[in-house]
Amino acid sequence: MNRPIKRFCFDGNIKYYGTDKEVLISDDYKEKDEELRGVWFSTVANIDIPKMTDTSVESQEKLKEYLQDVIKTLKEYHMNTIIFQVRPVNDALYDSALNPWSSVLTGKEGTNPGFDVFGYFMDEAKKNDIEVHAWINPYRAGRVNIKEANMTKEEFLETLAPTNFARLHPECTILTKENKLLLDPANEKVMEFVSDSIIEIASKYDIKAVHIDDYFYPYEDIADENEEEKKKKAGFEKTSDFRRDNVNKMIKLIHDKLQKLDKKVEFGISPFGIYRTNSKFYESKDDEGAWELGSNNSSGCLTNYKGLYADIYKWMEEGWIDYVVPQNYFDMDSTKLDDKNNEKCLVRYADLADWWSWAAKKTNTKLYMGQAFYRYSKDGAWANPEEIPNQLKYNQNLDNVLGTIFFTYKDFHRDDCESIIKGKELLKKLWTKTPKHVK
C-alpha cells in the first residue's frame, strides 16, 4: 500500500513541484532479479583513489590492495557495477598510446606507475562478476586556475607531459572563464582525438560501456575570443546552436566509431538532472531553457540544453546513446527558507524521476537513476537517513528505472554524520542480495 512521505524539515507531506498532489511510496520494497546497482569511482583530484608515494613495488602493491578493497565494498553492498573514471583530465589511468599517465597516480603527469591500474582493476572486477563502465571527461585539460597560478596559457601547457594532446596541439585549446584549460569543443581535431581515446579504451578492455558525465561546455562558460569567427564559418547565427552542434557532432562520432567495433560496447551519458524546463513555468516561451515537454521545476534552474549545450534528448531520440543516468541529486522535498522566512523550492526528486522515465520510454533508452549518496550531512533534508531509501522506493513506482548509480565511492566509507551511518545500514536492509546484470 502506498503512503505519503512526511517532510523532514517542515510540517506536512512532500508534494510534487508546484502542486498539492502528494508524492507516494510503498514500504514494500521488492528487490529485482535483474538490476544495475553501481557507484561512480571518481579519480579526479584523488576523490576516490589515493596517490602513490612512489612507483616502488611496495607502493604498487598498496594501491592494488586498495583496489581489491573497492571490490569488497561493492560486494558488501550487493552492487554489481562500477563507473571507473579512467580519463579525468586529458590523461589516463590505463596504459595508453594517446593520453599520458595521470598525475592522480604519482603526482606527476606522464609518470608510469609501474602497472596498468585500470587493467588490473578490470581483472579483479571480472573475477568477482562486477561490470565496469569506463568513464571519461571529454574536454577538461586542466584543473589549475592559470591566472591565480601567475602563469600564461603557454607556460601552463609546458607543465603538461610532452605527450599530452593539449601540449602537442595548443591551437586546439581554449580557456574557461575560470582560466582553466579546455579542449576546444568546436575543433574537429578534438572530436577525433576524444573519440579515438574512447575507441582505444573500448578496444583494449573488456568493459560493459564507455561513460561520459555532465561536463560538456563548462558550468562557468568559456572565454574564447575566436568563437564568433568559428561560429560564422560554421554557418550559425546563434552561439547556442553552434555550441550544441559541436557537442552533437562529438557524441555522434563516438557512437559511429563504437558501432564499427567487433564487439558490443554500450555508450552511456550521465547528464545534469534537468534537460529543459516545462514552458508553463516561464514568462517568455522563447527562452531556450523552455520546452512544452520539459520537466516540472522552476524556470530559475540550470538546464542541460541552455546552460551546458548538451542536447541529451536528441542523443536519446537519435539512438546515439544506449543508456542515460540523470544526476538526480535533489532531495525529495528540496525546500529552503528565503531571507523573508518563506519556503522556497526550485526542483524536487520525484518530478525529475518522472520526466526521465517518460523521456527514456519515448526514446527506448535504458534508464538508470543517478543518486546523491554524497549529500548525506548533519543539517537539512540530508540529515534524514531515510532520504536515499525513500528515493529508491519512489524509483519502484517507475517500471523502466533499471537501476541506481551512487555518487561517489568514498562516501561508503564516511562516518562523519549520523545520517550517512544510518543511511548505509538502511541501504543494506533494502539490498540483501546481488542482482543479475541488466542485459
Which tens digit of pLDDT belongs to each residue from 370-386? 999 999 999 999 999 99
Rg of the chain's alpha carbons, rounded to an integer? 22
Cα angle 383, 6, 359 (rounded to 5 degrees) comes to 90
**Number of CB atoms found within 10 A of residue 426's CB:** 17
How far is 430 from 385, CA to CA, in rounded Å? 13
Cα angle 148, 149, 155 (rounded to 5 degrees) comes to 130
Q: Which residue has the cell 531556450?
A: 288
End-to-end Cα, the chain, rounded Å: 30
Query: What are the residues whose beta carbons fall under 8 Å from the beta carbon of 318, sequence distance 6 or more?
Result: 252
* Among 162, 163, 184, 159, residue whose Cα is nearest residue 172: 184
* Amino acid 285: pLDDT: 78
Phi, psi angles (nearest 5°) of residue 98: -110, -35
* Amino acid 179: pLDDT: 98
Query: What are the residues whose beta carbons fall under 8 Å from the beta carbon of 172, sequence distance 6 or more?
Result: 165, 166, 183, 184, 187, 189, 190, 193
> pLDDT means per 10 residues in the chain (439 residues)?
96 97 97 98 98 98 98 98 98 98 98 98 98 98 97 98 98 98 98 98 98 97 97 98 98 98 98 98 92 97 98 98 98 95 96 99 98 98 98 98 98 98 98 97
Task: Give the pTM.
Answer: 0.98
* Among 159, 163, 181, residue whose Cα is nearest residue 172: 181
Element (H, E) at 233: helix 227-233
β-partners of residue 3 are 25
Helix, strand, or coil (residue 365): coil
* Amino acid 280: pLDDT: 96
Phi, psi angles (nearest 5°) of residue 36: -90, 125
